[in-house]
Amino acid sequence: MDEKSQELFTRAKKHIPGGVNSPVRAFGSVGRTPRFIRSAKGDRITDVDGNEMIDYVCSWGPGILGHAHPQVIEAVKDACDQGLSFGAPTAREVELAELIAELVPSMEVSRLVSSGTEAVMSAIRAARGYTGRDKIIKFKGCYHGHSDGLLVKAGSAALTTSVPDSAGVPADYTKNTLVALYNDPASVEQLFAENPGEIAAVIVEPVAANMGVVLPREGFLQFLRNITKKNGALLIFDEVITGFRLALGGAQQYYGIVPDLTTLGKIVGGGMPIGAYGGRREIMQCVSPDGPVYQAGTLSGNPVATAAGLKTLQILKEHPEIYQGLEEKTHYLAESVRQAAKGSVTVNQVGSLMSIFFTEEPVVDYESAVHSDTKCYADYFGYLLEHGVYVAPAQFEAMFVSAAHTREDIEQTCRMMEAYFAGA
């Protein structure tokens, strides 16, 4: 039953492109009417028709504590009572910068912005300003937000809406964006050999999560660390998804690789609009007003958003056991799906991230990911949606598990998955 969602979607399409404020939400690749959400609490989300579902989108990552965590809500309400925005520095921004530096030691100095896109765009500019070089390397199928220079062979909804190279981006804006293949060192070596002394940075999702979840092969991240250092280029870890998710210190802690710059989003804002970028002082001191790399934002460090982000990180820091629970619950879910599907799908899982690919082959890079059967995925998605389980409405996204996902709801999800694969 989704009559109210259908009515809202019809109205939305009159005044909003595709009826949504972000393309993946339109359910285009699963061919259904998107569910308009009324509220969410814990691991449950409720749509405008009153359908309550177990949520594995978790707002695409911010919801690591679950929806509407009481302490986060209280912090936001208290902040609201003191005013919504000042356009001036506040103590909470200092506290958040200090906590980021404590939890992610490579981010000695960081700048808050309002989205992951803005964080990545700014980090790239800082890398170019610091090195004096123009070219960057990204990986096919990785997604780093929608800034012009990075909409090149991008993942996420750019992939499902088949616009990995967006219209409206002049060739001049992407001529300095070189594309390598994830988990393929030779493709990176070739680009460095062809562009000696010209590459400012390599940007990578340390765990790719925008072609679905694809794990780095053993040694791949270390290889990137070595080749960037050898060539005077910076290594940028885009941890918008993995930051504070794979571990309290993110993927760089989980895999033990120290990048030069890191970008954050999602969890750092606790569900409110915050992004951040940062690294060691000698790099970040090139950022205005200390240095010549300009970057600014009216709502950067917004007092209400920083209240949500700070409280979220404080809770994660006070309860490190959360990460063990996330790994156990997600691993259990992944194993259940593997058994139920009897080899008909590939499940990639790390920490509280997982993806179910509708292919029997291992999924280790972009090429193997896109061999997945997106029609089967759409069928799977529709079955789960009708049975109270809300997963990503696109094959090339991740499932997110939160601290609020109860064992009972994980078990219920396993039963739904088993029923689907039994009948598929």
Q: Kindly list the residues in this chain that would bind ligand KE4 in the complex (CB under 6 A).
A: 22, 24, 60, 115-117, 120, 143-145, 156-157, 205, 210, 238, 240-241, 265, 275, 397
* Cβ–Cβ < 8 Å for 380, 337: no
143 is catalytic: yes
* Cβ–Cβ < 8 Å for 213, 349: yes
Q: Which of 56, 130, 143, 366 is catalytic?
A: 143
Q: How far is the CB of 89 from ligand KE4 (least distance, A)?
A: 23
Q: How far is the CB of 271 from ligand KE4 (least distance, A)?
A: 12
The CA distance from 330 to 411, in Å, is 11
Task: Name the residue nearer to ligand KE4 (CB basis): 297 or 325.
Answer: 297
Kindly state the helix (H) or strand (E) to which residue 340 belongs, with its residue range: helix 321-341
Burial of 423 per CB tally in 10 Å (0-12, 13-18, 19+): exposed
Q: How far is the CB of 32 from ligand KE4 (least distance, A)?
A: 17
Cα 356 to chain centroid, rounded: 17
Q: Which of 72, 391, 60 is nearest to 242 (CA)?
A: 60
366 is catalytic: no
Task: Name the residue nearer to ligand KE4 (CB basis): 59 or 406.
Answer: 59
365 is catalytic: no
Q: Which residue has the tokens 């989704």?
A: 2
Task: Name the residue nearer to ligand KE4 (CB basis): 206 or 420.
Answer: 206
Q: Which of 135, 140, 266, 311 is catalytic?
A: 266
Q: How far is the CB of 208 from ligand KE4 (least distance, A)?
A: 8
Cα 418 to chain centroid, rounded: 28
* Cβ–Cβ < 8 Å for 270, 99: no
Task: Name the residue nearer to ligand KE4 (CB basis): 184 or 238.
Answer: 238
The CA distance from 116 to 119, in Å, is 5
Q: Which residue lies nearest ligand KE4, judged by its C-beta?
A: 116
Beta bridge partner(s), residue 399: 354
Helix, strand, coil percent content, the chain, rounded in steps of 5: 45, 15, 40
Task: Name the residue nearer to ligand KE4 (CB basis): 60 or 420.
Answer: 60
- Looking at the annotation, which residues are catalytic? 143, 238, 266
